[in-house]
Every structure is written in structure tokens, then in C-alpha cells.
Amino acid sequence: MAATDLERFSNEEKRNLSLGGHVGFDSLPDQLVSKSVAQGFSFNILCVGETGIGKSTLMNTLFNTTFETEEASHYEPAVRLRPRTYDLQESNVHLKLTIVDAVGFGDQINKDESYRPIVDYIDTQFENYLQEELKIRRSLFNYHDTRIHVCLYFITPTGHSLKSLDLVAMKKLDSKVNIIPIIAKADTISKSELHKFKIKIMSELVSNGVQIYQFPTDDEAVAEINSVMNAHLPFAVVGSIEEVKVGNKMVRARQYPWGVVQVENESHCDFVKLREMLIRVNMEDLREQTHTRHYELYRRCKLEEMGFKDTDPDSQPFSLQETYETKRKEFLCELQRKEEEMRQMFVNKVKETESELKEKERELHEKFEHLKRIHQEEKRKVEEKRRELEEEMNAFNRRKVAVETLQSQSLQATSQQPLKKDKDKKNHMTPPKGPLEVVTSPLCF
């Protein structure tokens, strides 16, 4: 087919044709149903509410079973998310149900960051799904989807107003998950107080811009019931695992000395409304909203953060391939820049070290010269001293020789003395003169 023909064909309006007989594609919805049933469904509920508010009891009541549960302590250092997955079956429909408890919510003295672990948990589930989607070999068909489809926010039945923790947490969560607010332990609050409490809660949510999940009214089949139920929000619920005999029937109820609160009695509480809306009418819408609204938002932000976009600056379509190429070029340029920066840094470092070494060498040389000078000076002094000592020794030796000469002369003189004595005796004994005076004189130096 020529290009122009193709263009004409695609521009043409689609024509309605009537079939001559039964073809069989009217079974498509049935095919879809049987495929979905065979595949099974997953539904993930996040329960946020303070410790002991009745989360586990309500889950047990909602699914008419006993999930494994353990009481949380009031001493958790931080909020912790505890997911538990169960396989449930009703008729031939398999449901993989995950109940995630926000353990320790509202128990810390500083509650500023109480919402963060919850937000992080929701984001992690989105991220896991996104990573699976981005894989080359995806297995979304049998992927265990852990994205949170609904957050049941348990409000404490104070009868006053919402706590700031509730408003902050719901505000942080509303763009990430479908929030259904419920007033827990509604049997502890009187009918008139409950009515006022509901109005107060809704006005506070509106004035703080908190977007709660609205039951959809675009599908004719459920539009009416959903719009009626939207007006009943937040549902005031009672949970119980006890069975009490009322009339001739065993019903789930809470028994008090003054009477029985029946869980499934609509004039006692909104439990039936919640079960109807959550499970029987809007479960698929909650799953769809999670995928098309909350996950889509997360995915868009994440891909934009990574630099992917649908259009270029001139609003022209920008393919994934082009984005990849641009990103690759940007990355290579950045890599080159970093490499050059590191090389320059290395050269500078080498230069710095070289000049430091040179400086050290110069200092050492100076030190050596200084020591050499000192050494020479010392040597000169020692030499001078040696010379002086030598001179002194010579002088001493000379004197010594002189003394020895004198001594020998004096000895000679003494040996000749008897002869002389005789003579002197003859010359009237005159005392000896001269040489004796010289003997003593050299010793006086």
C-alpha cells in the first residue's frame, strides 16, 4: 500500500458495519474474567492508627477469619511497617491479601517523623514495581504486586477533632495512596456526638486540603450507592471476634452489661458500609486508582528525575532513544570533565609535593653548611690549642734541658768541692757562691 493510501486510510472515519451472523468476539469479557480468575488477585491494605486502636480486630472482622497477630508494645523507638501476606479463597477466586501494620504509630514522644517510614514503605513498593517494568525480561504477569491499594486510617474516637499527627500523616500520604478514614471503636461514642464528630473531621480534612479516597460515581451501576456512601465518610466502625446470640442467630458483636453492639447492624455502626465499599463494590477501583493515579505519579516523577521526558524544549515529541542518546552524551561529557579535573588535581599534587621536597632539600643543605662551618671553626680552635700546647711543650722541654744542664753542672761542681774545701779551709772557710743560686732559679717558672 502506498504511503498516501495509508495516510488516507488512517484519516478516514471508522465506519460501523453490521455482522451477517454470530462471530463470537462477544465472549471477550468472559475470556478476560476467566483469565483473571485463573491468575488470581492481589489486594494490599495498609492499617495506620495508634497502638491498640482495633486494627487487627477490624481486619479479622472484615475478612471473617483470624489472621495471625501479636500485640504491639507502646515502646517502639520508631514506626515500623509489618507486612503479612495470606492466601484466601472464596468460591473459585483466589486473593493474595497483604495486610501491612504501621506498628508503633503515635507512640513516640517526638512524632514529627512518624509518617516517614510509611511514605518510604509505599515508595519502595512503587519502586520495586517500576524496576520490574524497566527490566528487559519483565515478568509482570506473575509479579507479586505489593503496592498499597488502600490505607485504612484509624481515627481515635475522641469526639473532639483530629490530632495534628492525623492531619500531617494523611496529608503526606494522600498523593501516594487511597485513604479511607474510619472512626475506630465507634461503640465508645454516643450517636449525637458521633454525628458532630464526623462533620468536624470532614471539615478539618477539607480545610487542610487532605484528599481522601472518593468512591467513584462514573460507573452507572454503582454511582448511586457510591455517592450515598461518600456522604457517610468517615465510617464509624466496631470490630469484634466474639459471637453473641441475638434472637436465634449467632452474630459478631460486643457484649456490654447494658446491651449488645452488633457489628453488622447498620443502626449500630458503619461496619457493613465499610465492607460493602471496600470489598464488595470498589476493590477493583482501588486497585485501578493505585495503578493509574498514584503509581503513575510516582513513575512520572521518578523518570523525570532521571532525565526522561516526552517532549524536547520546542514541545516536539522526544523518544526514549533520543533521551538515552542525550543522557549518554551528557554522561560522557561529565565523565571527561571529571577525568580532566582529576588529572589536573594529580598534576597539582605532584607539583606541590615536588616543591615541598625541594624546600626540604634546601633546608637540609643549609643545615649541612651551617654544621660544616661550626665543624671547621671547632677544628681551627683545636688546631690553635694544639699549636699553643706544642709551643708550651717546647718551652718546657727547653727549660727542662736547661735545668738538667745546670743540675749536671752543679753536680760536677759539688764533686770538685772537697778539693776546694781543703783549699777554702785554708782560705778561712769562705761560703760557696754562684752555681747554687742558678739551681733554684729554673724551678721558679
Q: Which residues bind ligand GTP (CB under 6 A)?
A: 51-57, 71-72, 185, 187-188, 238-239, 254
**Cβ of residue 272: shortest distance to ligand GTP, in angstroms?**
14
Residue 57 in contact with Mg ion, rule: CB under 5 A:
no
Phi and psi at residue 219, to the nearest 5°: -95, 115
Residue environment code for 158-179, b if the CB has 16+ CB neighbours within 10 A, otherwise e: eeeebeebbbbbbbbbbebbbb
Nearer to Mg ion, 56 or 98 (CB): 56
Distance CA 148, CA 127 (A): 12
Stretches 54-62, 178-186, 348-356, 385-393: which one binds Mg ion (CB under 5 A)?
A: 54-62
Nearer to ligand GTP, 58 or 286 (CB): 58
Residue-wise DSSP of 174-237: TTTS-EEEEESSGGGS-HHHHHHHHHHHHHHHHHTT--------SSHHHHHHHHHHHTTPSEE-
H or E stretch at 46: strand 41-48
**Cβ of residue 140: shortest distance to ligand GTP, in angstroms?**
33
Nearer to ligand GTP, 156 or 289 (CB): 156
**Cβ of residue 185: shortest distance to ligand GTP, in angstroms?**
4
Q: From the list ligand GTP, Mg ion, none, pick the one residue 435 interacts with, judged by a Cβ distance below 5 to 8 Å according to partner type.
A: none
Amino acid code (one letter) for 76: E
Phi and psi at residue 229, to the nearest 5°: -70, -35
3-state secondary structure of 83: strand
Residue 262 in contact with Mg ion, rule: CB under 5 A:
no
Nearer to ligand GTP, 44 or 54 (CB): 54
C-alpha cell at 436: 747554687
Stretches 50-58, 213-221, 226-234, 277-285: which one binds Mg ion (CB under 5 A)?
A: 50-58
Stretches 51-59, 140-148, 253-261, 373-381: which one binds Mg ion (CB under 5 A)?
A: 51-59
The alpha-carbon radius of gyration of the chain (Å, integer) is 54
Q: From the list Mg ion, ligand GTP, none, pick the one residue 12 interacts with, judged by a Cβ distance below 5 to 8 Å according to partner type.
A: none
Nearer to ligand GTP, 238 or 286 (CB): 238
Residue 56 in contact with Mg ion, rule: CB under 5 A:
yes
Stretches 52-60, 147-155, 211-219, 249-257: which one binds Mg ion (CB under 5 A)?
A: 52-60
Q: From the list Mg ion, ligand GTP, none, pick the one residue 51 interacts with, judged by a Cβ distance below 5 to 8 Å according to partner type.
A: ligand GTP
Distance CA 236, CA 157 (A): 9
Distance CA 269, CA 438 (A): 149
**Cβ of residue 124: shortest distance to ligand GTP, in angstroms?**
22
Amino acid code (one letter) for 21: G
